[in-house]
Amino acid sequence: MLQTTLILVGALAGIWVVKTVIEWRRVVQSIQDYPGLRYVFGLESFLIRSRIPFISAGNFGAWTYKHQDFVDHDSDIISSVRVWRRPAVTYLIADAEALKEITNARHRFPKPLHQYKVLTFYGSNIVVTEADEWKRHRKITAPSFSERNNRLVWDETISIVQELCQVVWKGQNEIAIDNIVDLTVPMALYVIGVAGFGRRMSWVEDMSIPAGHSMFFRDALHTVSNDLWIKVIIPSLILKYAPIPRVRKFYTAYNELERYMFEMIEARRNAEKREERYDLFSSLLDANSSESEGALTDSELMGNIFVFLIAGHETTAHTLAYTFIMLALYQNEQDILYQHIKSVLPDGRIPSYEEMGKLYYSMAVFQETLRMFPPVNGIPKYSEEDTTLMTRSMTGEPRAVPCPKGTALLIHTPGLHYNPRYWEDPYAFKPARFLGDWPRDAFLPFSGGARACLGRRFSETEGVAILTYIIAHFQIVVKEEPQFAGETFDQRKERLLKSRAALTLFPVKAPLVFKRR
């Protein structure tokens, strides 16, 4: 009996292998065996992080290898064909011209919406919709990102950083931060709290939890944004009764945040007198209430503000963390930035929003960090029709890329941002490259085209304000630790920049010291 069972299992396995090989060959032939990666598990697999020959391309491979895979296969568009689940092809794209075509032609190259389900927990939103539904969401959400909101972002950011430096750090000439994200995450959280939700939060405030709640708003916001992955991998029914403390805390925070958002909607809707407020949430509600047709439901309102939270919080927090690390490593660049800030603000006064344009080196440092550490390493699209993409080999020879209908496409942000065709010495930290002319089509930290991130200016305004204020008042250095006393500069750099990715790329652990000037 056992022998018969083993024979049957072996026969079924053999049939599956033959069927899979035939399907894999069909997929490879459909793209005319276009050069690229061939692995059992592709880049999109969540199972294996590192690259293993023939087995896994590694889900962290886009960041690890940057532009090298394109060099190895002599093309700025390469294919990635996987076997697991079912054989399928994805084109990895680091060609600026091809990406401009893809991002501008959203009807030909739409989003694979099923990959964005993680962002629909509180409701449908602008990120997870396409076509007419996307237009409906955009009509109401886009006006929230106004010049008045940008000014609010600047003023509130300066206020938050000023309180940190003058109140929390008062009397301290050196402040050691064991992990820089422990500073940048709450900083960005407080900014999104007031400029996104209209709820001012303080570094020192000691309040009581509002009636009907079991958590502060800021704690719910922080927990949900940090641990959203829990909701992705654990079904709701299990989540509710999970015995693990961290999971239980997330479940509580998730429901608390939903309750807070619903209360804000109701309070704004039922207010006898409307205050003139320019935070994203208030602007969104005002735009929605004035819409006679196509207004968003309460669920959709919460879905959109939740997306604003995730995009505005994590992206800026982690980019600032990398910015501080790079300035600590490259003291010459930090000094250039400091001298520039002093030239704009010679009397040491607080910069105004109107002076943001003069602080062009702060912006250049922030942009160079976004280039080197793009928050999202892969932005998915797919081809809605049979078409051909054009690219070039490393020597500039044109190459035609067959792209059948339904083919998955990936905007390979590290490959693009480290492509020497567009960026001279791409692995070097050179903020000055963003002064004057620079290749805008080869810079996509916020994606591009009509579907580009609405919050780009929000993030840039916050980043420049924080960077300018901090560098004007503090020198940032790497924390000296006895166990790393003998390391070389390259070893130190590798240690501080060791990264992982959740929703966005982030440094694992970087201890820095802020020395008051």
- Residue 66 one-letter amino acid: K
Residue appearing with tokens 């023939």: 54
d(CA 101, CA 38): 26
| DSSP code string of 100-165 | HHHHH-TTTS---GGGGGGG-SS---GGG--HHHHHHHHHHHGGGS-HHHHHHHHHHHHHHHHHII
The two tokens of residue 506 are 């982030």
> What is the number of other CB atoms lying within 10 angstroms of the CB of residue 104?
13
Helix extents (H) in 244-297: 245-270, 280-289
Q: CA end-to-end span of the chain, whole Å?
A: 81
| CA 128, 132, 135, 139 torsion-angle sign | negative
Residue appearing with tokens 């901090």: 470
- State the virtual CA torsion across 291, 297, 302, 303 in degrees, nearest 10: -100
Listed residue (293, 452, 431) closest to 364, CA to CA: 431
389 contact partners, CB below 8 Å, separation of at least 6: 77, 91, 93, 95, 98, 101, 102, 400, 401, 403
443-463 in b/e form (b: 16+ CB < 10 A) is bbbbbbeebebbbbbbbbbbb
d(CA 451, CA 446): 9
Pairing of strands 88-93, 408-412: parallel
453 among the known binding-site residues? yes
Q: Which residue positions form the known binding site for heme?
A: 453
Q: Which residue positions form the known binding site?
A: 453
